[in-house]
Amino acid sequence: MITLEGKVALITGAARGIGAAIAFKLADFGCRVTLSDIDVVGAEKTAQEIKNSGGEAAALAADVARLTQAENLIKETIDKFDKIDILVNNAGITRDNLLMRMSEAEWDAVLAVNLKGTFNCTKAVIRPMMKQRSGKIINISSIVGVIGNAGQANYAASKAGVIGLTKSVAKEVGSRNIQVNAVAPGYILTEMTKDLPESAKEAFLTVIPLQRAGHADDVANTVLFLASPLSDYITGQVLHVDGGMVM
Ligand SMILES: NC(=O)c1ccc[n+]([C@@H]2O[C@H](COP(=O)([O-])OP(=O)(O)OC[C@H]3O[C@@H](n4cnc5c(N)ncnc54)[C@H](O)[C@@H]3O)[C@@H](O)[C@H]2O)c1
């Protein structure tokens, strides 16, 4: 049976959506969880729901795009729970536009949160994990980072960058018993995708062999596996959670 009893996880962007589902899932399996977000009210609400169902959770405000805030986040998690075993880099944003119309601000914002945010939190956590000679880092990428997507050059570049970062860090810290993997979700029903045009939603369904959109819980189940000892011999990998859309 999978258990995360005695483990401590930090999940970024955990106020809602996939991050909240991951926090709930890890807590369900006995993990103490820190939920961080720029939306601290949302993170506190989700943390309270976890506590109401018997879990141990804390909420912290942090903008992952700022290195000093990422460093504080790791420090405060360790101050609160004495250590950190699992980091889930989940915070992410979109600013979609065709490249010819894309502003520098749209490019910079997406790269700052999705790619630099993952770098910032990983850099801040790596020393404590190396010291304890164990750790799991799970980066939420996207299938768009693997196959590209018209109108999402910034987002696709950031998510492809996350995959390169994942593989490089996996090679750097493997000798310290730290596993670094990425999850590439496909079309998942959350706030991020709710405003897609109906035509785009229908088009997705025609290319998904399992013939349905994914749920945040589908991603959370995969993160649970990667956070657990069941994945101890897996590192530098990208697990697609997309109903078979990209093979
Ligand atoms: N929904 C999908 O179909 C899908 C597909 C592939 C990948 N993803 C990825 O999954 C992750 C979660 O997406 P979601 O669908 O739950 O989105 P969401 O918009 O519902 O949630 C994202 C969360 O990140 C937080 N956030 C944004 N900027 C932040 C920052 N600078 N610092 C800290 N927190 C910040 C938001 O406040 C929000 O709570 C993202 O990385 C996203 O790119 C989603």
- What is the tally of structural domains in the chain? 1
Which one is predicted more confidently, 200 or 167?
Answer: 167
183 alpha carbon – ligand 1 mean position (Å):
13
Chain segment 152-161, per-residue pLDDT in tens: 999 999 999 9
Q: What is the average pLDDT score of the chain? A: 98
Residue 1 pLDDT greater than 90, yes or no: no
Over residues 174-189, mean pLDDT: 98
Which of 142, 192, 196, 205 is the best mutation target for the ligand 1 pocket, counting ligand atoms within 8 Å of the beta carbon and taking the most? 192
**Residue 100 domain-assigned?**
yes
90 lines ligand 1 (CB under 6 A): yes
94 alpha carbon – ligand 1 mean position (Å):
8
19 lines ligand 1 (CB under 6 A): yes
**Residue 195 domain-assigned?**
yes
**Residue 51 domain-assigned?**
yes
In 3D space, the residue among 129, 116, 42, 131 whose CA is nearest the CA of residue 87 turns out to be 129
Over residues 151-176, mean pLDDT: 98
**Residue 217 domain-assigned?**
yes
Chain segment 95-112, per-residue pLDDT in tens: 999 999 999 999 999 999
Over residues 44-60, mean pLDDT: 98
12 lines ligand 1 (CB under 6 A): yes
Domain at 214, CATH number: 3.40.50.720
Give yes or no for a contact between 193 and 214, defined as CB atoms under 8 angstroms apart: no
**Residue 247 domain-assigned?**
no
**Residue 113 domain-assigned?**
yes
pLDDT at 88 (0 to 100):
99
Distance of CA 238 to the CA centre of its chain: 12
Enumerate the H helices of the chain as residue ranges.
Answer: 17-28, 40-52, 67-81, 104-110, 117-132, 144-147, 153-173, 191-194, 198-206, 216-227
- For residue 132, the enclosing domain spans 8-241
**Residue 79 domain-assigned?**
yes
Residue 163 pLDDT greater than 90, yes or no: yes
Distances (CA, A) of 218 to 19, 63, 68, 88, 123: 12, 26, 32, 15, 28
